[in-house]
Structure 1
C-alpha cells in the first residue's frame, strides 16, 4: 500500500512541475513582444518592433540627403531582420536606434570625382559643382592680374562621374578648402642657437601641437642645436599657371666695366664715368605659377632712356715703398715696459719698448718724415705721416737718421734707441695717431 502511495505522489509531482513550466512559458510568451534584431552589413543596430520603422528612418535619411544635394541616393548595404521575442525594456529607444543607424548606414550617390594626376582627390555632387570649385581655385590666382591670356592647372585634372558612398561626398565649400590645404609637404628644419618650440611654431605659422605630432619620437621640449625636426607645411593639391600679356616700364641696370691704367697704383681705383640706369617700355607674355613669375617672353620693347655703363679705372703701377701699406710692423726689438693709458696720474699716449741704447728704430710703415728734431718731453723725435690719416711717433731717440721731408719705406732705419728727453732709461716711446688722436699701438703691433 505504501509503495502505491509513493508512485501516486511521484506522478502528482511530475504533473505539478509540467503544469508550472507551461504556466511560466505562457506568461513569458504573453508578456514578451514579437520584435526584430536589425543588423546592417553584419553590424548590430538594435531591436525594433516593426520593420516599417527602420524603412521609415532610411527613407527620411534619403530625403534629407536629396534635399541637401538635390540628387537621389540608394542603399546597397545588406539589411537583415532577425525575429525575436523580448520584453518591452529590451526594445531600442527610437533616439538610440536612429543614432546607431546613422553610424552604420552609408548610402550610395552618383557624384563627380576631381581626379588629379590619375588619383581621385575629392567628390562633389556633379560636374557643375566640380567646375565651380576648380574655377574658384583659379580665381584665387587671378586677382590683380590684367590681360589674362590663359589660365590652367599644372597638374592633369579630370572630372569623372561615379557612384560613391555618401560619407565621401563634400559640398563645394569643403571641397574648395580641401583642395587648397588637403596635403602636407613634410620639410626639415635644423635647430639653431636660441630656438625653442614656440619661436619655431611662430616662424612657420604652425601650432606647437602640430610640430609635436610631426615628431613623435623626439622630446620637442628639449631641442639640441643642429638637431633636425620635421616641419609639416600645408600644401595645395593644385598649382595654377596664369599667362597674361602685360605692359610695364622696366629699369635697365648698368654694368661696371674696369679699365686698367698705369696712372694709378696697384690696389687703387678711380671712377672714370658714373653709371646711369636706362629704362624701357616692355610688352611681354608673363607666366606665373602660384603667383610666382616662372618665365617672361618679351613681345615688344622700346628704349626710353639709354643705359650708361660705369667705368672704373684700376691701377697697375707698382707702389713705391714709401707708400703706406695700411699695416704696421714692430718699430724695434725689445720688450714692453709701459702700456698705453693712465700712468702716474697722466695719460700715456703711446707704449714704451725697452731696448739697449743704439738699437735700430725702423719705420713702422711707409710715409713721409714730417718732423725730425727735439721736442719737449719726447727728446729726439721722428714723426712719420703715412698719408692715410695715420701718423707714428718715435721718441727718446739717441740719434736721428731720417731727415724732415724724407720719404721712407716700411722697415727703413730712421733712428736709434736712447734716453733723451723726459726718460728713465733706454727705450723707444712709440705712438700711433689717427686723425691726430692717440690710439693704443698694441692694436697694430705685438710685444
Structure 2
C-alpha cells in the first residue's frame, strides 16, 4: 500500500513515461493500476494473490488443526508467512493456483527455541524456560545438583571473588565452562521436530558420530577393529574402500573409523579439602619399679590431622589433573607413652622372712592355748591394716579356709610356706608370683577370731616352725 505522497510520485512517473512514448494517458487507464501480494514462506517465494484473505483462512484452519494435535505448543498466525505488496498495471493473478500450492506445501510452525552448540543446531524446544533447563541439565550430567545450586548462589553473591578457603572437608566448584559455545534463540519450527527437555538432554548426552583415524598397533583383524568402535564390518569397508574383507591390518597401517563424541564437554574446576590422619608413635619406657608383667599407660596417644587443599580439573566428570596447592597440620599428634616394668620377682624365696604387717605387736605367741596348740603368732594393733608377703614366692591358696577365715598360703619354693589368716580382704590370687613386701590383703577378723589381727604361720619342708625363729618384731 502506497502513501498518498508515494502514490502522487508514482502517477507522475507514469505520465512522463506515456508522454515519452508518444501516447496520451487517460484518467480511466490510470485507474487500471491494482495492488497484489507476493507470498513468501521461510523467505521462499510461493506465488502472488490479489486477495490474501483466503490464504489467511487456510492458515488459520491449519493452525486450529495443529493446536488440537499439539495443545502444549504456541502457534502464531503472523509468524507463518510474509507478504510483499506491489502495485501493477493489469494484474493477471491466479489466486487459486497460489492457494493450491500453499495447501500442499505449507506446514504450520510453532514457537520454538533453537539450541546451538558450536554453531550447529542440535535441538528445538517449545519455550525459553525449556532451553534454559536444557543448559542446566547438561551441567547436571556431570555435577551434583546441590553443588550446582551452591555454585550458582556463590556466583550471584560474588563469593568466589573473595579470598575464602574451605574450612572443613569437602569440595566446592570454582568454575564451570563449556568446551564449545552454546546458545539459544527464538524461532519457529514444525511441532513434530520439537523435543522435550528430557529428549534433548538424551540426544546431547548420546553425542554424535565423528570420523577419526585408527592406527594399528600390530597385526589386527578388521572385524576386531569394527567391534572396538561399535561398527559393522560393512560400515568399516564402506569408509575404507581400499580394504578387502578377510585381510588384516599391519602395524602402523591407518584406517578411518567412526566413534561417538560428545556434542560438548563440561569443564569443571574444583577446590577440595581433604584431611588425613597422622598416626601417633608408641613409645615404651622401661621402669625398674614395675614388675616385668606390668605396664602402665602414662599418656594416651592421639592422632594428628593434616589438611590438603587440592585444585582438580574435570572433563565430563572425569579427572584430568590434580594439584596440591596447600597442606598444613591442623591438629598435632600426641605420642602414646607406656611404662613397662623390668622388675623380675624371684620365684624362690630368700630364706629370710620380713615382718608381714605394718607395725603392730605380738598379741599371742605359738604354743598351747586354751587346751590346744596355737600354731602361729598373732599380730595386732598395726599402724595400718595392710598385710604383706614375708618372702618371694607363689600364691598357693587364696580364699576362705573355715576357722582361719580368709586365708593366703604362699609357697616360697625353697621348702618354706607361710600362712596369713583372718584377713578382711584378699588382694592377690592363686598362681600369682609374689615379691617380698608386696601387699596381699587387709587385716581383719574373719573365721574363728578374737578380734582384728593377723594369724601368721611358717612351715619348713611341711613341718610347722616357730615364726619367732625366723622373724623379729
Q: TM-score w.r.t. structure 2 length?
A: 0.37
| Structure of higher CA gyration radius | 2
TM value normalised by structure 1: 0.39
